[in-house]
Amino acid sequence: MKLLTSVKLKLFHEPISLTGTFVVSLSYLVKYLYEKASSGCTPKLPPLSGSKANHSTIARGAIFCEWQAQTLASRGSVSFMLILAIDTALDACAAGILDTRTSKLIAHESMPMKRGHAEALMPLLGRVMADSGIAFADLDRIAVTTGPGSFTGLRVGLSAARGLGLAASKPVVGITTLTAYAAPVVSENMDAPVIAAIDARHDHVYFQVVSGNGTSLVRPGVIPIHEALEAVQFGAPYLVGNAAEILAARWPSDAPAPLRVDMQPAPEISWVAWLGAAVNPETALARPYYLRAPDARPQSSLMQQAALAAS
């Protein structure tokens, strides 16, 4: 895929100016950037493998349970900027460009898919950029979903976002998929809790619970479905995420019924973009958030977490 752009690749101590046709394929981009990073050239990219240190950093910063709920509730407070959002974490390959000044997506495209993100993403990005009429140099920021989700899909989106950000000298921020799923409901200022759940297979879900104002009730984790159902203690919830219907089907009959079940295969790209505009680039790092080994830590039960939150 050929992307027409004019960029400076700051991969060496002396920047290299490229003008005209910049040929980008995802495999070439990733290979080239990481070869330069590993050879000692600056800037050096952090590893995609997500160490425990990376996990704890993201847990403090980009989880959005320290959520900036006021920003979500009043999106007019977000600075004016152009955001390119990318999502390949789950069952879609999507990108969009948000203009926060007009609160509209200038261009966007989403393709449902379980596999093939690596082949689909760069052509899709080319179409979105062409439809928008915006050059990479005009972007203010790039936002990308960091997980939890498909290990392969996450690396595709993260590699592309970080490579493009490095090439175009644009900041890249990471948004968790659980956050992106929950954000539309939180933005409505509802009083009920929001349960975001993603299918982790083998009778497990990636899981997070926030209050209606965005306060964290249960931090993100990967837990058995039967344990996720302990969230009935928080009252009738909004269920969101690609595992929303899985939880709804097994919801205890004697518990308050979910107020709404919103099952989507992937988060809305517009919310990935809005969150990308709201977060702090210094803490919302574009690193994979797997919630599985080697990053995952033993999860305390929901009852224990709720007790700690209340104390």
Q: What is the predicted pLDDT for the residue at 187?
A: 87
What mean pLDDT is reported for the chain? Answer: 78
Residues in the chain: 311
Q: What is the pLDDT of residue 55?
A: 29
**pLDDT at residue 106, as a whole number:** 97
Tell me how far apart the alpha carbons of residues 129 and 134 are, in angstroms, rounded to a whole number: 6
Of these ranges, 3-12, 142-151, 212-221, the one predicted with the greatest mean pLDDT is: 142-151
User: Could you tell me if 124 and 109 are in contact, meaning their C-beta atoms sit under 8 angstroms apart?
Assistant: yes
Q: Are 67 and 78 in contact (CB under 8 A)?
A: no
**Cis peptide bond prior to 46, omega within 30° of 0:** no
Mean pLDDT is lowest, of 32-41, 247-256, 263-272, for: 32-41
| pLDDT of amino acid 300 | 56
Spatial distance between the Cα atoms of 27 and 5, rounded to a whole number of angstroms: 19
What's the pLDDT band for 233 if we cut at 50, 70, 90? Answer: very high
268, 180 contact by CB (below 8 A): yes
For residue range 127-178, list pLDDT tens digits in order: 999 999 999 999 999 999 999 999 999 999 999 999 999 999 999 999 999 9
Q: Where are the alpha helices (DSSP H) in the chain?
A: 26-38, 52-61, 69-73, 117-132, 151-168, 177-186, 225-228, 244-249, 269-278, 302-310
pLDDT of residue 301: 60
pLDDT of residue 117: 96
Short-list 84, 205, 187, 105, CA closest to 148 = 205
State yes or no: pLDDT of 294 exceeds 60: no
pLDDT at 35: 44
pLDDT at 26 over 50: no
Query: How far apart (Å, rounded) are the C-alpha atoms in residues 309 and 311?
Result: 6
At residue 223, the pLDDT reads 95
| Rounded CA separation 56/34 (Å) | 24
Delimit the domains of the chain by residue range: 180-265+303-310
User: What is the per-residue pLDDT across 166-203, written as a single tens digit (0 to 9) for each?
Assistant: 999 999 999 999 999 999 999 887 889 999 999 999 99
Q: How confident is the model at residue 8 (pLDDT cuts 50, 70, 90)?
A: very low
Identify the CATH assignment for 180-265+303-310 out of 3.40.50.80, 3.30.420.40, 1.20.1630.10, 3.50.50.60.
3.30.420.40
The reported pLDDT for the residue numbered 188 is 86
What was the pLDDT predicted at 12?
Answer: 26
Distance (Å, whole) CA 217 – CA 178:
14
Question: With bands split at pLDDT 50, 70 and 90, how would you rate the model's confidence at 75?
Answer: low
